[in-house]
Chain A
Amino acid sequence: MQIRDGLIAGFPIVIGYLPIAIAFGVLARQAGISLVELTGMSLLVFAGAAQFMAAGMIGIGVSAAEIIIATFVLNLRHFVMALSFVHQLQHIPLKWKGALSIGLTDETFSVSSIYKHKAEQSYCHLFYGTIIITSYGSWVFGSFLGGVLGDVVPEQLTQSMGIALYAMFIGLLVPSVRKYKRIAIICITAMLVNYLLNPLIGQGWGIVAGTILGAFVGIFVLEEEEI
């Protein structure tokens, strides 16, 4: 039951991940990373944006230290997301919280947060676990496929599918805003902060600042009984 619901909730992530993972596989091969290495990277790192950046940096011969530091900065946003995620799952056993947080990405976090009512049900860790495992599986499989296929997937198609995750984020967000309009103030603040700071402090910090400040506005606009 929880597994079935998890499959349904995770399906949009799979749709979104596959083309991006394939594109990563293609790019990584072009950067001179072997099939085993690029699949290994997806298995061990599981962080889309950072992997793209690393493949690009490896391609132009940037040092290991710089790549690892850049990855750290880019992925710090997951610290803020994990805080919120773990807070939502307060009552589940520690080992499950640990296991689930390892698989926290922008996408698995977003979907899990929108289905926060699930956290009150029994076996909810299976629901969240299924979302994460299917997403992870499609990410690793897609990377491998991209590495094998090389450039045979038409760019037109992968480019069009680049909208998938954004559409998913919108599809998750809009029903919450419809239900409780004040949420829009939080989102718009986060968007503006990210938009203004992105060129100055980079993609990773832009999202961190947008998330922190947008949520900070939430302290003033949200009413306790509504959330």
Chain B
Amino acid sequence: MIWFIIIGMAVVTVLPRVIPVYIVDFIQFPLWMNKWLKAIPYAALGALIFPGIMTVIPERPYVGVIAGVVAMILAWFRIHVIGVVAIAIITVYLFTI
């Protein structure tokens, strides 16, 4: 039964990821749609960050927000992503002790 669920999940997960490969080549995108497609990564990043970041410690949403602000400041001053991730982890850890 669980294997049936797993295979079903695999199919419905892979379809949305792969179908665009076979349709993009057949569509002639107008200029506005090109812009839309190029803006998608930034919009997706925004939607992935917030409000999800508030659930890092579900009972204390502000902890995720503070760590997020710390990450923003570090990234603004050109700290490498790996450093940003490391310091954000330490920030949250300090709130849990």
B81-A186 in contact (CB<8A): no
For the residues of B in contact with A, the DSSP-based class is helix
Asked if A94 meets B21 with Cβ closer than 8 Å, knowing A15-B85, A168-B85, the reply is: yes
Q: Which residues of B contact A175 (CB under 8 A)?
A: 75, 78
A191-B12 in contact (CB<8A): no
A190-B6 in contact (CB<8A): no
Q: Which residues of B contact A168 (CB under 8 A)?
A: 81, 84-85
- What is the size, in residues, of chain B's interface with A at 8 Å between Cβ atoms? 71
A12-B81 in contact (CB<8A): yes
Asked if A190 meets B46 with Cβ closer than 8 Å, knowing A58-B5, A68-B12, the reply is: yes
A187-B45 in contact (CB<8A): yes
A173-B17 in contact (CB<8A): no
Q: Which residue of A lies closest to B96 (CB)?
A: A156
Asked if A183 meets B32 with Cβ closer than 8 Å, knowing A44-B6, A195-B50, the reply is: no
Give B contacts to A, CB under 8 Å: 1-10, 12-14, 16-21, 24-25, 29, 31-32, 34-53, 56-57, 64, 67-68, 71-72, 74-76, 78-82, 84-93, 96-97
Closest 10 CB pairs of A and B: A218-B39, A214-B43, A210-B47, A187-B46, A113-B41, A167-B88, A190-B46, A174-B75, A79-B16, A171-B84
